[in-house]
């Protein structure tokens, strides 16, 4: 239950481009082989800012899933689902809202930032203020241990940790906790009980983090512990009450350095993107018409790669040898700009070829995609309902 589990979500607000591929998707593809992974379409999050353009969301949801599959996210290794198909997220969001101080939400930096940045939209809504809390519900409902996110999202993970702590603090204090925890220690059996007690002392009295980690893995290995006892022991170990929700860690994904067609970072808002599965002719054309060093007006003018938006693309895609060829050719006017761009065009097309191929089967048979998502939603719901059972019980809502 507390073993490593990775969760991440993406908002469906338009087509994905190579910046998403280099910044996020490549990472997901790698992580799916290293961890249990859950990846979901955050359609409710998209509605917080795009509530007046539901058409965009609906279309983007399926396009985005095809993009994920095209990039190599593999449903045999990762669970793919849609947030709104797991309504338990909404229930947890509501329940957590009962204990969430307004000030905490107002102080999350993205709240004011985004309101200012998207000033053409009215974002003084209840839903938008609750954005980070909905994200907390997404994470906590799966007891995710790691959340791969970009720098801008780190405050949301911090916020989530505080919510989990507050929840455990308020609802983890059952009557007779100490006695119950001690009884649970005994159930580990003589040797392990003794080891657990030693590790706990080492951590609590000497702050020994290694002892904490060892004790956690000891607990992870105990298949026969009941769920309640597991929560008690994790809480008891760290010196609190029952640990009903576990605190996630942010897993910082290296910021995408993917340059766009104009030298700025690739982003839809700069209109400088190449989409993930863009057709070959369009990719070639976009790169062929990219601006270059403005000093190279004629073919015979020398240029400087450092002043050219094509150069950052060579840094992403080209070999050492090609880069030397560019530097020399550019500075001596030995090569023309069209010539210089060709290796980049070739590399982008080659990168996209397997993506286009993988996507084709899903475009030919959309039912495949629906089935992958239906399976994923079912798996996710099962995990989510386990957490909800504990949450409802802790909050006095498990009537029987
Ligand atoms: N807020 C995230 C973003 O804009 C998307 C998101 C929603 C998310 N829920 C999440 C990311 C849960 C990680 C975990 O990128
Ligand atoms: Fe840019 Fe290459 Fe032309 Fe030099 S030769 S200006 S690096 S496109």
Instruction: Give DSSP secondary structure letters for 55-86.
Output: HHHHHHHHHHHHHHHHHT--TTTEEEEEGGG-
- The pLDDT mean for the chain works out to 94
Determine whether the shortest distance from the Cβ of 337 to ligand 2 is under 6 A. yes
Mean per-residue pLDDT, 153-169: 96
- State what percent of residues in the chain have pLDDT above 70: 99
Determine whether the shortest distance from the Cβ of 343 to ligand 2 is under 6 A. no
Q: Is the pLDDT of residue 219 over 70?
A: yes
Task: Convert the pLDDT of each residue in 111-131 to its tens digit.
Answer: 999 999 989 999 999 999 999
> How far is ligand 2, taken at its centre, from the CA of residue 20, in Å?
26
H-only helix segments in the chain: 18-20, 26-31, 43-50, 54-71, 88-97, 102-107, 109-117, 126-129, 131-140, 154-171, 177-187, 190-206, 209-221, 227-238, 280-288, 311-317, 320-331, 337-364, 366-394
Q: What confidence score (pLDDT) does residue 223 get?
A: 85
Task: Convert the pLDDT of each residue in 312-322 to its tens digit.
Answer: 999 999 999 99
**Which residue has a Cα nearest atom 7 of ligand 2?**
305
**What pLDDT band is residue 243 in, cutting at 50, 70 and 90?**
confident
Q: What confidence score (pLDDT) does residue 11 get?
A: 96
Burial class (CB in 10 A: 0-12, 13-18, 19+), 52: exposed
Q: Is the pLDDT of residue 2 over 70?
A: no
The token pair at 117 is 């940045």
> How far is ligand 1, taken at its centre, from the CA of residue 393, in Å?
27
Ligand 1 — pocket residues by CB below 6 A?
7-9, 11, 42, 45, 135, 138-139, 147, 149, 153
In the block, residue with structure tokens 């929840």: 167
The token pair at 226 is 């009941």
Q: What confidence score (pLDDT) does residue 130 get?
A: 98
Q: What confidence score (pLDDT) does residue 171 get?
A: 93
Mean per-residue pLDDT, 182-204: 93
Alpha carbon separation from 53 to 14, 17, 117, 120, 256 (Å, rounded): 11, 21, 18, 14, 28
> How far is ligand 2, taken at its centre, from the CA of residue 328, in Å?
10
Q: Is the pLDDT of residue 295 over 50?
A: yes
β-pairing, 249-252 vs 146-149, is parallel
Determine whether the shortest distance from the Cβ of 39 to ligand 2 is under 6 A. no
> How far is ligand 2, taken at its centre, from the CA of residue 341, in Å?
8
Cα 9 to chain center, whole Å?
5
Ligand 1 atom at minimum distance from 131 CA? 1
Q: Which domains does the chain have, with CATH numbers?
A: 5-172+245-257+366-394 (3.40.50.620), 177-238 (no CATH), 277-363 (1.10.240.10)
Q: What confidence score (pLDDT) does residue 257 get?
A: 76
> How far is ligand 1, taken at its centre, from the CA of residue 42, in Å?
7
Mean per-residue pLDDT, 169-181: 87
Q: What confidence score (pLDDT) does residue 1 get?
A: 42
Mean per-residue pLDDT, 98-120: 94
Q: Is the pLDDT of residue 76 over 90?
A: yes
Determine whether the shortest distance from the Cβ of 275 to ligand 2 is under 6 A. no
Q: What confidence score (pLDDT) does residue 144 get?
A: 97
Q: What confidence score (pLDDT) does residue 93 get?
A: 98
pTM of the model: 0.89
């Amino acid at each position: 239950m507390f073993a490593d589990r990775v969760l991440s979500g993406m908002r469906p607000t338009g087509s994905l481009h190579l910046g998403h591929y280099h910044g996020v998707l490549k990472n997901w593809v790698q992580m799916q082989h290293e961890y249990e992974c859950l990846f979901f379409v955050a359609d409710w999050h998209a509605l917080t800012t795009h509530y007046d353009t539901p058409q965009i969301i609906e279309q983007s949801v399926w396009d985005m899933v095809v993009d994920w599959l095209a990039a190599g996210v593999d449903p045999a290794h990762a669970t793919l689902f849609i947030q709104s198909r797991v309504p338990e997220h909404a229930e947890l969001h509501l329940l957590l809202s009962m204990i969430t101080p307004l000030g905490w939400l107002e102080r999350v930096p993205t709240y004011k930032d985004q309101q200012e940045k998207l000033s053409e939209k009215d974002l003084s809504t209840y839903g938008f203020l609750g954005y980070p809390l909905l994200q907390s519900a997404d994470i906590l409902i799966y007891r995710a241990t790691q959340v791969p996110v970009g720098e801008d999202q780190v405050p949301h993970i911090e916020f989530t940790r505080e919510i989990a702590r507050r929840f455990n603090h308020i609802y983890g204090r059952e009557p007779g906790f100490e006695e119950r925890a001690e009884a649970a220690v005994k159930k580990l059996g003589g040797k392990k009980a003794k080891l657990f007690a030693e590790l706990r002392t080492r951590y609590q009295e000497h702050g020994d983090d290694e002892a904490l980690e060892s004790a956690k893995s000891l607990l992870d290995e105990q298949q026969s512990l009941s769920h309640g006892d597991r929560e008690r022991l994790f809480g008891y170990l760290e010196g609190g009450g029952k640990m009903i929700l576990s605190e996630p860690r942010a897993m910082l994904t290296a910021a995408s350095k993917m340059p766009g067609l104009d030298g700025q970072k690739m982003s839809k808002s700069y209109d400088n993107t190449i989409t993930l599965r863009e057709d070959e002719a369009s990719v070639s054309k976009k790169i062929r018409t990219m601006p270059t060093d403005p000093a190279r007006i004629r073919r015979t003018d020398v240029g400087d790669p450092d002043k050219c938006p094509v150069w950052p693309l060579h840094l992403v895609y080209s070999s050492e040898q090609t880069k030397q060829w560019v530097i020399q050719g550019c500075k001596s006017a030995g090569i023309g700009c069209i010539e210089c761009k060709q290796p980049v065009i070739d590399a982008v097309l080659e990168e996209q070829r397997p993506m286009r191929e993988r996507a084709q089967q899903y475009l030919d048979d959309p039912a495949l995609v629906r089935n992958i998502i239906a399976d994923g939603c079912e798996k996710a719901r099962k995990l989510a309902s386990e957490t909800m059972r504990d949450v409802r019980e802790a909050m006095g809502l498990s009537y029987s």
